[in-house]
Amino acid sequence: MRVFKFGGASVKDAEGVKNVASVLAQVGHDKTLLVISAMGKTTNALEGVVHNYFDKSNELNASLQEIRKYHNQILIDLFDNEEHDVFFDINSHFDDLEYFIRSNKSPNYNFVYDQVISYGEIISTTIVSHYFNEIGLKNTWLDVRNFIKTDTNYRDANVDWNQTQQLITKNVAKNTMYITQGFIGSDPNNFTTTLGREGSDYTAAIFAYCMGAQSVTIWKDVPGVLNADPRYFENAILLNQISYREAIELAFYGASVIHPKTLQPLQKKEIPLYVKSFINPLLNGTSVSKGADLEPHSPCFIVKKNQLLLSLSSLDFSFIMEDHISEIFALFHQYKLKVNLIQNTAISFSVCIEDKFNNFGELKSILAKKFKVSYNENVSLYTIRHFDENSIKVVETNKTVLLKQISRETLQIITKE
């Protein structure tokens, strides 16, 4: 059994869906499970719906109808017969979404977020499954929420591996083509949860691990894993082969091609991961597998934008000790702030953090009771794996360096543009 993951860019319109079918025709589709994301920028659009809902905005209905219109156009472009069952199914999904928004009583933003956002994947996979069946690519649609079980940590749920393993092993055959959703699961009460933004890669790894899959392939609009993001760096080169260890390091530091949680379950069972182009599916792409001899021989650049550099110092010039740091990290965990770099001196403690849930404002007032707080917003964190002098110059040129940290293989620089 193979697991393929197609992201939103691959199914952003009718031509994209047809191209996925073309990819399968070229590389085969027997005994394959497809994990498919929401179409195009649908997740962003649904985030706007959630925002409008909590703001009681007059734009709420319009934002919903815009998403419905977008998907309806894809349906019209894919299906000649507007009496096809897919039109009924998609309308039913949108009706369910609108009913939830009308009837919801929960004030929990993260809970509401997960219930709403998940419709992007549900709708996307319904369209693709119907289209594939229509053109002769016979498949079975799976509701991933019946298989991937999680806790109630909405927006960043933790997988219940034992229960998930049992459900997948018992109910997913290995001789069928399946289509299912990335990024989502369900909690013990069967409410929808999400696995973290861009979590569809992780979904693919979960299924692969539980099924003992032959391989996982992530289909992207790039030729594979590059040594740098071409949006920010010129002359990026393809990494043909890298080890699990290196891929985990790159993902941890923020390489966007692979979701950070994806590699660990694959590494445990030594399931190879391929990152390939859905534009040129017969190219080799990048393979990720076991082997210390697969490390890149060129510097690898990673950039994370919109970071926050936070510095805390004691109010009475006393040392920042382990008990202080423990308390600070407990607060970071409580307010879901991701720490990407740490540096401390005798009386100060600096961290580069990512405030993806917009909780820093509340946390800042709590920290200010015990520490002197200073911070820089909208900074960039550059990480260079296997750095050399020239690669450092590439990053530092025409930028203000706020902090630099060097270890044996990795250099990190925080800059203000």
pLDDT, tens digit (0-9, with 9 covering 90-100), for 150-169: 999 999 999 999 999 999 99
Non-local (6+) Cβ contacts of 32 within 8 A are 1, 2, 3, 4, 24, 177, 178
199 pLDDT above the threshold of 90: no
**pLDDT at site 261:** 87
**pLDDT at site 153:** 96
Q: What percent of the chain has pLDDT over 90?
A: 83
**pLDDT at site 208:** 97
The reply to whether the predicted model has a pTM over 0.85 is yes
401: confidence class by pLDDT, cuts 50, 70, 90: very high
Q: Where are the alpha helices (DSSP H) in 79-155?
A: 85-103, 109-117, 119-134
Q: Which tokens in the block code for residue 255?
A: 């390489």
pLDDT, tens digit (0-9, with 9 covering 90-100), for 245-271: 888 888 888 877 787 789 999 999 999
Measured CA to CA in angstroms, residue 61 lies from 96, 124, 389 at distances of 14, 21, 54
**pLDDT at site 7:** 95
- Domain residue extents for the chain: 2-220, 300-416
Query: Which CATH number among 3.60.20.10, 3.20.20.70, 3.40.1160.10, 3.30.565.10 corresponds to the domain 2-220?
Result: 3.40.1160.10
pLDDT, tens digit (0-9, with 9 covering 90-100), for 276-312: 999 999 999 999 998 756 667 789 999 999 999 999 9
Mean pLDDT of 230-250: 89
70-84, 106-120, 317-331: least confident range: 317-331
Compute the mean pLDDT over every residue in the chain, rounded to the nearest whole number: 94
**pLDDT at site 292:** 57
Q: Which tokens in the block code for residue 34?
A: 């497809």
Q: Which CATH class is domain 300-416?
A: alpha beta
110 pLDDT above the threshold of 90: yes
319 pLDDT above the threshold of 90: no
pLDDT, tens digit (0-9, with 9 covering 90-100), for 342-370: 998 888 899 999 998 899 999 999 999 98
Antiparallel, parallel or unpaired: β 241-243 and 273-277 = unpaired
**pLDDT at site 22:** 98
In degrees and rounded to multiples of 5, residue 342 shows phi and psi of -135, 140
